[in-house]
Amino acid sequence: MRGGGSPVTRPAGGGYLPGQAAYRRVVVGLGAGGLANFALLYYVQPLLPTLATRYGVPAGTSAQALSVSTMAMAVALIGIGPLSDAVGRVNVLRWSLAVSGALGVVSAFVTSWPALLVLRGLMGVALAGLPAVALAYLREEIHPSAHPQANATYIAGTATGGALGRLLPGPLDAWGGWTFATCTIAGVTLAAALAVTLLVPPSTGFTPTPPRVRAVLGGMGRTVRDPVVLALCLVGFAGMGAFVGIYNAIAFRLQAPPYQLGHAATLVYLAYPVGIAGPTVARLLAARLGRWPATVLLVAGMAAGTLVVGAGPLPLVMAGLGLLTFAFLGAHSLATAWVVDRARRTGVGTAQASSGYLLAYYTGSAAIGVTATHLWSQHGWLAVTTLSLVLAALAAAGATLAARGERPGPGRGGEGAGGGTTVTDALVPEG
């Protein structure tokens, strides 16, 4: 199955370069795919109060609509990379978006809460295809000199998808209800699947091979035995948990007194785009201070943002969310770059190390997202704040353990080096 449009020729000696039509097709197609992928994943977050009312479930239970997708994605990420080795990168990219978009349309019309959760779980499995494969495709098809630029464009698409997934659903729900909002977001995903099919050229720098199960399992075994990677998984689990917990619970807090904002509560998510600059600033901090100090500083910024969100006045709530998002995306980008660099330096497979980190990352989202909404409904905002602060402390501890686990030496890029890989070599800093 080949892509649409005119045939493209991969330049001899290294891949597509900026200025070539094929390069533009790649970055536009994958940028659109990243946007749609994460918009479909996260659009339910601002609609959790709507789901609680529509399906007659408690506030804490409504968070399962997001958690079941993120947990399913986490597990699926482990297997989809090897699957793409067998069936091809572009096929996985296309079918990931097409299947998840179709499941999204179906989910708009179900009236049973268990049925919705099943569909959201299947959606998470399908959605895993794009983040599991996109960066590998870029590494194989784009000239090495253009990797940072192409990766940054894709990452910007995923971050924009995270932002639109929180900003658009409220107005869409207010105008046409849950079904209209869901069909719109799912329709965007189907349009992105078409864009990937028409624009993204078939792989020329990759030859499908049968998956080697023993090699994959061996790589995962080496990953879980590496104390630095394990410590960085703690950073991902705790950081993502603190972030999603606040964002899940804030949707309910803004519906309650003294705010009672209704659909206008969506406006606080205008703070989210502030965070898109986080990875860039994080890279500069790491270059100046070193990875470990920069990561701990950003985790401290998450804690500060959490406290500001709890201050009370709505402008401070927005400012706190902006700081939280900025600091989280920055810390996440440093942790993922650190994981990739550590895997390269120690001979652990980068794909397996990345999968391990993302498994911990999305497990934090699933587990803490539900926990935070339960805490809000039973104990109020102070309980949510306390949980987030405890998780921030765990993330800082994880970064510290990772730094101590590094063995400094020439060319090893230890924790004080602040380098080894750039942020755009990392996994995707979506949230």
Tell me: do 123 and 241 sit in the same domain: no
pLDDT attached to residue 411: 39
Tokens 């993330």 correspond to: 395
CATH number of the structural domain spanning residue 255: 1.20.1250.20
Domain boundary among 180, 207, 234: 207
pLDDT attached to residue 1: 38
User: Is residue 297, in this structure, part of any structural domain at all?
Assistant: yes
Alpha carbon distance 130, 338 (integer Å): 22
Q: How many CB atoms lie within 10 A of CB 159?
A: 26
Domain boundary among 173, 188, 207: 207
pLDDT attached to residue 412: 41
Residue 417 has pLDDT above 60, yes or no: no
Number of domains forming the structure of the chain:
2
Sign, CA torsion 246/249/253/255 = positive
Say whether 217 sits in a helix, a strand or coil. helix
pLDDT attached to residue 22: 93
Tell me: do 54 and 116 sit in the same domain: yes
pLDDT tens figures, 103-155: 999 999 999 999 999 999 999 999 999 988 887 788 888 888 887 778 778 87
Residue 410 has pLDDT above 50, yes or no: no
25 against 347, higher pLDDT: 25
Q: Which domain holds residue 313?
A: 212-426
Alpha carbon distance 192, 38 (integer Å): 12
Highest mean pLDDT among 67-81, 278-292, 371-385, 407-421: 371-385
Confidence band for 349, pLDDT divided at 50, 70 and 90: low
User: Is residue 15, in this structure, part of any structural domain at all?
Assistant: no
Tell me: do 239 and 221 sit in the same domain: yes
User: Is residue 91, in this structure, part of any structural domain at all?
Assistant: yes
Burial of 217 from C-beta contacts in 10 A (0-12 / 13-18 / 19+)? exposed
pLDDT tens figures, 198-226: 999 988 877 766 766 665 555 555 666 78
User: Is residue 317, in this structure, part of any structural domain at all?
Assistant: yes
Residue 242 has pLDDT above 50, yes or no: yes
Highest mean pLDDT among 145-149, 171-175, 353-357, 390-394: 390-394
Tell me: do 44 and 122 sit in the same domain: yes
Confidence band for 184, pLDDT divided at 50, 70 and 90: very high
Tell me: do 30 and 147 sit in the same domain: yes
Tell me: do 172 and 303 sit in the same domain: no
pTM of the model: 0.83
pLDDT attached to residue 5: 42
Q: What is the mean pLDDT of the chain?
A: 85
Alpha carbon distance 112, 134 (integer Å): 34
Mean pLDDT over residues 168-176, rounded? 92
Residue 80 has pLDDT above 90, yes or no: no
User: Is residue 1, in this structure, part of any structural domain at all?
Assistant: no
pLDDT tens figures, 21-33: 999 999 999 999 9
8 against 115, higher pLDDT: 115
User: Is residue 12, in this structure, part of any structural domain at all?
Assistant: no
pLDDT attached to residue 212: 65
User: Is residue 10, in this structure, part of any structural domain at all?
Assistant: no
Confidence band for 415, pLDDT divided at 50, 70 and 90: very low
pLDDT attached to residue 351: 65
Confidence band for 348, pLDDT divided at 50, 70 and 90: low
Mean pLDDT over residues 323-339, rounded? 91
Tell me: do 253 and 150 sit in the same domain: no
Residue 352 has pLDDT above 90, yes or no: no
Tell me: do 185 and 283 sit in the same domain: no
Tell me: do 172 and 226 sit in the same domain: no
pLDDT attached to residue 107: 98
Q: Which residues pair with 291 in a beta bridge?
A: none
Residue 403 has pLDDT above 60, yes or no: yes
Domain boundary among 152, 172, 207: 207
Residue 402 has pLDDT above 90, yes or no: yes
Confidence band for 336, pLDDT divided at 50, 70 and 90: confident
Tell me: do 258 and 163 sit in the same domain: no
Residue 82 has pLDDT above 90, yes or no: no
134 against 404, higher pLDDT: 404
Tell me: do 203 and 216 sit in the same domain: no
Tell me: do 251 and 394 sit in the same domain: yes
pLDDT attached to residue 275: 83
